[in-house]
Amino acid sequence: MKRILTGDRPTGPLHLGHYFGSLKNRVELQNKYETFIIVADWQVLYDHLEDEKGKAIERNIMEVVLDNLAVGLDPDKVTFFIQSEVPEICELTQIFQFLVTVARAKRNPTVKEEFLNIVSKNDLYDESEEEVKFIREWHLKFSDEDKEKVFNKGWDKMNLGFLCFPISQAADILFCKADLVPVGEDQMPHIEQTREIVRKFNRLFGDTFTEPEALVSKTPRLRGLDGQAKMSKSLGNVINLKATSGEVELAIKGAYSGENHALFEYGKLFGLNEKDFEVSGVVQMGKFKPALAEKINDFLEPIRKQRASFQKDPKFIRKLLDNGRAKAQKIAQETLKEVKQKMGMDYKFKF
């Protein structure tokens, strides 16, 4: 059976953007592929190093696993595990880091975009307020070409873990030699980087890995409630899968409905045609919005119920993750052994 590996950063509950970007595909494919879901806790640290101190990550691991189960991933079929509980993935990351140049690591478009997000919000920067402000304003004021200069200035201040997170993501994918990676569109550059790592490793050390394929959903990017290009927790423009019906109503009521808003796209997704709400050629938002909220709530209701039933039993979740760790670790150990042998790093001292 071919394998899927995909996963999430445990930075908070998952939202509709995650659902349409990746979760829906996971659910549809779980019977056709042996499926692994990684909860990528190391990957949280690049922009949440200190404010987490363990507990928030732990809570968010729970949120992410519950959301995956709530949308219909079957705990009897799917292997869930926590990234940091399979240390072999770190070893593989360490090895892969030698296959990637600094320039290549910087050239990843999603890394660049995320970098700008971090620069404009984060206090990982030890620099003075003025320095951060300077970089931020450059980003807003200048052309793409000049942004390159911002990157160059900013990179010197960025933590190395951030630059390397796509390499660690390659190790997430390759430890189990996954064939397919269902992801949102923004993750494509990481899959491309993973494929490059495969080619380079195989060229240097002989056929070991196969290039994984990305699977991007039909709705690769869900726009935000504010009309921005992406639904994203850090932009605060999301509807969480665990949102109550009241929260959904409020979110839709308050959603941006000016030029180029995203509401009709949501309508199409949930089976509403805005044309049915037209009076003399103008869509009546006062009617459309509540109807949309109702459709979203109809969609979320079974997800909420499923979530609540799993939430009652945290011990079950720990057990699920223990079993997942055991299974993932066994595979990771085999892969690492093979990798070290191919590299000649299985020392036997037989000269």
Report how far residue 169's alpha carbon sits from residue 201's, in angstroms, rounded to the nearest whole number. 16
Q: Which is nearer to ligand TRP, 171 or 272 (CB)?
A: 171
Question: What three-state secondary structure class fits 286?
Answer: helix
Q: Which is nearer to ligand TRP, 9 or 195 (CB)?
A: 9
- The Cα diameter of the chain in Å comes to 88
Residue 214 Cβ vs ligand TRP, minimum distance, rounded to whole Å: 9
Interface residue with ligand TRP among 3, 4, 7, 64 (CB under 6 A) is 7
The reply on whether position 6 binds ligand TRP by CB under 6 A is yes
41 phi, psi to nearest 5 deg: -75, -35
The reply on whether position 119 binds ligand TRP by CB under 6 A is no
Report how far residue 325's alpha carbon sits from residue 86's, in angstroms, rounded to the nearest whole number. 7
Q: Classify residue 333 by its DSSP letter.
A: H
Contact 279, 108 (CB under 8 A): no
Residue 56 Cβ vs ligand TRP, minimum distance, rounded to whole Å: 17
The reply on whether position 40 binds ligand TRP by CB under 6 A is yes
The reply on whether position 60 binds ligand TRP by CB under 6 A is no
The reply on whether position 181 binds ligand TRP by CB under 6 A is yes
Contact 188, 215 (CB under 8 A): no
158 C-beta neighbours (distance < 10 Å), count: 19
Q: Which is nearer to ligand TRP, 95 or 293 (CB)?
A: 95
Size of the site for ligand TRP (CB under 6 A): 14
Report how far residue 45's alpha carbon sits from residue 11's, in angstroms, rounded to the nearest whole number. 10
Q: Which is nearer to ligand TRP, 7 or 13 (CB)?
A: 7
The reply on whether position 43 binds ligand TRP by CB under 6 A is yes
**Which positions ≥6 away from 63 have C-beta within 8 Å?**
10, 12, 13, 14, 242
Q: Which is nearer to ligand TRP, 167 or 173 (CB)?
A: 173
Report how far residue 85's alpha carbon sits from residue 7's, in angstroms, rounded to the nearest whole number. 15
> Which positions from 257 through 276 interact with ligand TRP, judged by CB under 6 A?
none
Q: Which two tokens stand for residue 104?
A: 């290549």
224 C-beta neighbours (distance < 10 Å), count: 22
Interface residue with ligand TRP among 79, 93, 187, 297 (CB under 6 A) is 187
Q: Which is nearer to ligand TRP, 19 or 288 (CB)?
A: 19
Place of tokens 């409905």: 257
Q: Which is nearer to ligand TRP, 43 or 335 (CB)?
A: 43
Q: Which is nearer to ligand TRP, 8 or 52 (CB)?
A: 8
199 phi, psi to nearest 5 deg: -60, -40
Q: Which of 154, 169, 94, 90 is nearest to 124 (CA)?
A: 154
Q: State how far Cα 34 lies from the chain centre.
A: 20
Interface residue with ligand TRP among 3, 4, 8, 174 (CB under 6 A) is 8
Each residue 321-340 as x (binds ligand TRP by CB under 6 A) or -, in order, gives --------------------
Residue 194 Cβ vs ligand TRP, minimum distance, rounded to whole Å: 8
Half-sphere exposure of residue 195, counting CA atoms within 13 Å on the CB side? 13
Instruction: Calculate helix-pair angle for 109-121, 144-155, nearest 10 degrees.
Output: 70
Point out the residue whose Cβ comes nearest to ligand TRP.
Answer: 40
The reply on whether position 230 binds ligand TRP by CB under 6 A is no
> Which positions from 161 through 180 interact with ligand TRP, judged by CB under 6 A?
169, 172-173
Interface residue with ligand TRP among 4, 16, 23, 38 (CB under 6 A) is 38
Residue 82 Cβ vs ligand TRP, minimum distance, rounded to whole Å: 12
Residues that bind ligand TRP (CB under 6 A): 5-9, 38, 40, 43, 169, 172-173, 181, 183, 187
